Structure 1
Amino acid sequence: MALHELSPKAYRLVEAARSTNLKERFFMRYARVGLRGLLADTNRVATWDRVPGEAALGGYAWQQGDFRTKRWIPQGITTSSDAFGPDPTAGTVGGRHLVLVSWYARNLWGFFFGSRISVMDCTDETHAPYRHVLLVNPRRLFGINWLTTIRVHAGGIVWYGQYLYVAGGQHGIRVFRLDDLVRVRNRLRTKTYRYVLPQFTAYDADHDKAVGEMMYSFMSLDRSGNQDHLIAGEYGRKGGSHRLMRFPLDRETELLRRDDRGWAVPAELYDRQVERMQGATLVDGTWVITASNGKGNPGDLWVGRPGDYVQHAGVLPTGPEDIAYWPQRRQLWTLSEWPKLRWVYAIDAEKWAKPAAPADGPDPHDS
């Protein structure tokens, strides 16, 4: 595994034009209810369960229909701690500890059908009420207003302040404002979903001709320094590309920080990292990465620094996905994707997110 062989300046995210007038017409027809309105109307319950894997503390099993479905596949995870920061008194919405999970769906021909998020209230360890929300994009075609589904893999999500960032693969990143969450009356236009979340803006992926395109497979948030960063990573099999990037965030606008050209450029880029990465985040400067090994095979946890990781093989359930750090609990939260093997679960950060010893010898502070 190598470090910086590619320049971060070769990659950028460019914000697309926002259709403000169209969204205003959308909100004239639908009433915003936000997260608080949805939390008062949950219709499913996940229950606490044992989770296989040495590193898993335990977690929530989805309600049976979601636990078994082959149509929708869970992928990304973020928490209210990401949204509101690591302060001990922060990290909640109205005193509730929330977890958001993203899913994608394919139709019978293998094409993306849509993307959604589940809002879970994990305040009670025994059970977590939740509800699904369809991600949509208001469009106007032939003089008619339409709601089109967001058709991305949604392999990673980040909740930062009022915004939800959703990984969009080779296309870049989609952004949604959670206050814009609406309740609809006629569910025929929203594929039976009572709640939808319209897209606020999008960042299109771009790169220099001399380098290959970046696949925005998963994401997480790093609040460990004076500058907050959005971590973006790339899934790739053996022989493929496995990159990690960190993009600065603007604490005032809660959007990506842009240069004088209007581009969001990564502050750091690490090339040729862990194969089959599914999620990556930072705990006090230490990278923690989930990696999959195919259905039925336990997942791996990689811990350390780019180019110098320790592999904890087979300590995760099969099908590990995105990962987020919950500092108030000193836990990492992640999830698994395969039908009948789906959990949203915790990992003890104190035990599993220990930094790797320096490459030239043991850590002199380790007694």
Structure 2
Amino acid sequence: MDQTAPPPDPPEPVEGFGVHLTRTEENVAEIDALGARLQEHGGGRVGISGVLGDLDRRMRRTFLPWPRLLGRAVDRAITWERRDRRDLRWYPQGISTSVRTEVERDVLVTSWYSKKDEGSRVSFIDLAARRYRHVLLVEPTLVDGVPGFKPLKAHAGGVVWHGPYLHVAATGRGFLTCRVDEVMRVPGAAGLATYGHDYVLPVRFAYRAANEEGVTRLRFSFMTLDRSTEPPSLVVGEYGNSKQTRRLARFPTDPGTGLLSTGEDGVSRPILDGEDGLTRMQGTAVVDGTYFVTSSHGTSYGSMHVGRPGDFRTTKWATPPGPEDLVYWPETDLLWSLSEHPGWRWVFAMDRSRLLKT
């Protein structure tokens, strides 16, 4: 990108490019029944406040000058307890914030997927206290009147916390939505398998992905919330190699509910922002029309790309190896991300203004 010349006009957005999402029915009966069963054993719904009041693990701060050695763009970094930093079963993926929710603390939420068929989970991190806790994501069940759950099996490459809702990316399936006030504590006496987690968060409904004939289904590899549009937009992107689609698209949200806007047919259709050709995209954040994108290079340091689809400027050696999802925190002007490789796992922040000047 030539910084001495004005940037080219952004490409015209393409509406309704042959992919869409359809929202499923809500699992109200299943969730209510599960809550009642757990309450009988001394557990049940505790909500996000219950989890934040019972954080059982501690984040470790990474002091200067080490953050610069984590990547040229890194300004702040913290890391997990050793057992999570080196865990070969669970891999961190998505990241979002408590910005403009009812939570009064500065909280990050990250998503993980299991390589051992244990599903996916989220971790709530109190930044001031530097403490966190894992919460297992589950699909509630009600079989012959008996409530229960099974682990949510999704790659969880992105996560968005918007109002009371937590959206979790599920690649070709679309994404799944939970309500943070439905976090539940699961006592051992309930007899349900939680894979070592004391809390679960049930899926309330899903947004199922579909495509027209001849159009490649949109993969929800990562996702973020663009708060610089009114109302905010849910932006999604595709991880891909040189032979796969690598699209960036946005879904407008409804200003009343915060959920996706729908047409008269009840279907949500995205706007195609671009097919810019960046390979191995892992996450994005969008601020006032500018995209910030992470990309990975195996066990080498990751890259940051700044610009617009089709017109990016790249900073190499910008992040730790294995950068993942990305989120913007407006009040601090920081971009937060996280890295996935065992032994090289950090939750780290980058100054957005400095990236614009790099």
TM-score for the superposition, normalised by structure 1? 0.88
Structure 1 residue matching 2:83: 3-state secondary structure = helix
Structure 2 residue matching 1:113: 3-state secondary structure = coil
Aligned to 1:170: 172
Shift in CA distance, 58/188, structure 1 to aligned 2, threshold 3 Å: farther
Matched, 1:184 2:192: no
Aligned to 1:67: 85
- Which residue of the other structure, out of 15, 21, 35, is the alignment partner of 2:29? 21
Aligned to 2:252: 248
Q: Distance in 2 between matches of 1:164 and 1:301?
A: 26
Aligned to 2:4: none
Structure 2 residue matching 1:147: 3-state secondary structure = strand
Q: Distance in 1 between matches of 2:283 and 2:150?
A: 28
- The Cα of 1:113 is off from its aligned counterpart by 2.8
Aligned to 2:238: 234
Contact 1:286–1:353, Cα closer than 8 Å, also in 2: no
- Which residue of the other structure, out of 202, 207, 214, is the alignment partner of 1:210? 214
Q: Distance in 1 between matches of 2:275 and 2:144?
A: 45
Aligned to 1:87: none
Matched, 1:57 2:75: yes
* Segment drifting more, 230-239 vs 182-191: 182-191
Alignment of 1:278-293 (within 5 A): 278-293=282-297
Query: What is the CA RMSD across the aligned residues, in angstroms?
Result: 1.8
Q: Distance in 2 between matches of 1:244 and 1:150?
A: 25
Contact 1:165–1:176, Cα closer than 8 Å, also in 2: yes
- The Cα of 1:270 is off from its aligned counterpart by 1.7
Q: Distance in 2 between matches of 1:123 and 1:247?
A: 33
Contact 1:244–1:273, Cα closer than 8 Å, also in 2: no
- The Cα of 1:212 is off from its aligned counterpart by 0.8
Aligned to 1:333: 336
Deviating runs (4+, > 6 A) in structure 1? none
Shift in CA distance, 209/5, structure 1 to aligned 2, threshold 3 Å: farther
- Structure 2 spans left out of the alignment, 5+ residues: 1-9, 39-43
* Segment drifting more, 39-48 vs 178-187: 178-187
Aligned residues: 337
Aligned to 1:359: none
Q: Distance in 2 between matches of 1:294 and 1:138?
A: 36
Structure 2 residue matching 1:65: 3-state secondary structure = helix
Shift in CA distance, 341/253, structure 1 to aligned 2, threshold 3 Å: same
Structure 2 residue matching 1:210: 3-state secondary structure = coil
Aligned to 1:314: 317
Residue type at the aligned position of 1:16: T
Matched, 1:35 2:48: yes
Contact 1:5–1:271, Cα closer than 8 Å, also in 2: no
Aligned to 1:122: 127
TM-score for the superposition, normalised by structure 2? 0.90
- Which residue of the other structure, out of 263, 271, 275, is the alignment partner of 2:275? 271
- Which residue of the other structure, out of 74, 93, 99, is the alignment partner of 2:108? 99
- The Cα of 1:3 is off from its aligned counterpart by 5.5
* Segment drifting more, 130-139 vs 185-194: 185-194
- Structure 1 spans left out of the alignment, 5+ residues: 85-91, 356-367
Percent of aligned positions that are identical:
38
Aligned to 1:76: 94
